[in-house]
């Protein structure tokens, strides 16, 4: 059984002006997501600025999210690292905290061979008992998880259950699902490709868009699964300009700006991320108004 089906939000981590995690605003964002019909919360991923959290902060944010959600929807904890031992430490602690599953980004900077990726992921998954979702995002990591490696891991390791695919290569994803034999739960990692990946057998999306449009992102998936392909596709296409604006600067700069514009308070960014350039902020604001989530 899939960890979740539908739209999971890759939730932001709000920071105060002094740089501390703003747990009061984080609680508000969690409630906004649950009220909006989000099917799962993915905490401490790329959008959550996990790369600038200390290990203590990282685990505190995961623990807080799990406690606040209180079992209402699944919580998937981002615990990947380019150091296998660090990933094992974060993963085991997240399991202790009650995470429903883990999201494990591929090793970045040092990268790895396909055999190295296999051994890395196998070691992490075998250190825990909860489901693990691989995360392929080569534009950030410089490391592509080949379809054969994904299938091998999902076949050989019982609790490696699927992959978040953010590579954008539809041909590679089609090959993956051709090889998968029903063993790989596929999640889109790109908001502009939700319907294409669902059509290839995907279970849903791990979404940036859902931070600002939880109901609409949920509905793209729900309509598809209900057999309303035309409605799902229409909602996907309507979101394309907003998706583009949300990625006109590196994520999560635009989505935090969008939340602030909505009064939801995404908070500040941690260096080296900086505030959005004025011309891009204007483009984002227009896209939000056109989409109907900002007056």
Sign of CA dihedral 229, 103, 174, 169: positive
Largest CA-CA distance found in the chain, in angstroms, rounded: 51
Residues 6 or more apart in contact with residue 20 via CB below 8 angstroms: none
* Range list of H helices, 213-275: 214-225, 229-246, 253-261
Cβ atoms of 65 and 75 closer than 8 Å: yes
| 164 included as an active-site residue | yes
Catalytic site residue from 118, 121, 135, 291:
135
* CA–CA dist 176, 278 (Å, integer): 40
Catalytic site residue from 25, 118, 121, 164:
164
User: Strand locations in the chain, DSSP E?
Assistant: 6-10, 40-43, 75-78, 101-105, 132-136, 160-165, 185-188, 204-207
> What is the chain's alpha carbon radius of gyration, rounded to the nearest angstrom?
18
**3-state SS, residue 209:** helix
Which of 37, 283, 3 is CA-nearest to residue 161? 3
| 289 included as an active-site residue | no
Place of tokens 């793209």: 220
* Catalytic positions, written as ranges: 135, 164
């Amino acid at each position: 059984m899939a960890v979740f089906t539908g739209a999971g939000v890759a939730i932001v981590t709000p920071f105060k002006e002094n740089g501390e995690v703003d747990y009061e605003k984080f609680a508000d964002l969690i409630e906004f997501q649950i009220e909006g019909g989000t099917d799962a919360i993915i905490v401490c991923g790329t959008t959550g600025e996990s790369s600038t959290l200390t290990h203590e902060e990282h685990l505190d944010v995961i623990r807080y999210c799990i406690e606040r959600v209180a079992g209402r929807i699944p919580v998937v904890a981002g615990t990947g690292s380019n150091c296998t031992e660090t990933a094992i430490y974060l993963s085991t602690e997240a399991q202790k905290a009650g995470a429903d599953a883990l999201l494990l980004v591929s090793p970045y900077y040092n990268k790895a061979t396909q055999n190295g990726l296999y051994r890395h992921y196998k070691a992490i998954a075998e250190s825990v008992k909860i489901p693990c979702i691989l995360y392929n995002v080569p534009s950030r990591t410089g490391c592509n998880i080949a379809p054969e490696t994904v299938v091998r891991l999902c076949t050989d390791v019982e609790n490696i259950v699927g992959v978040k695919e953010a590579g954008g290569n539809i041909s590679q994803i089609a090959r993956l699902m051709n090889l998968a034999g029903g063993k790989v739960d596929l999640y889109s990692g790109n908001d502009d490709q939700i319907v294409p990946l669902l059509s290839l057998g995907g279970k849903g999306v791990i979404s940036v868009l859902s931070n600002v449009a939880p109901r609409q992102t949920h509905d793209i998936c729900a309509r598809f699964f209900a057999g309303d392909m035309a409605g799902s596709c229409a909602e996907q296409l309507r979101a394309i300009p907003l998706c583009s604006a949300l990625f006109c600067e590196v994520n999560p700069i635009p989505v935090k700006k969008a939340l602030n514009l909505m009064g939801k308070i995404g908070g500040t960014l941690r260096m080296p991320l900086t505030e959005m350039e004025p011309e891009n902020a204007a483009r984002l604001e227009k896209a939000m108004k056109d989409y109907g989530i900002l007056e």
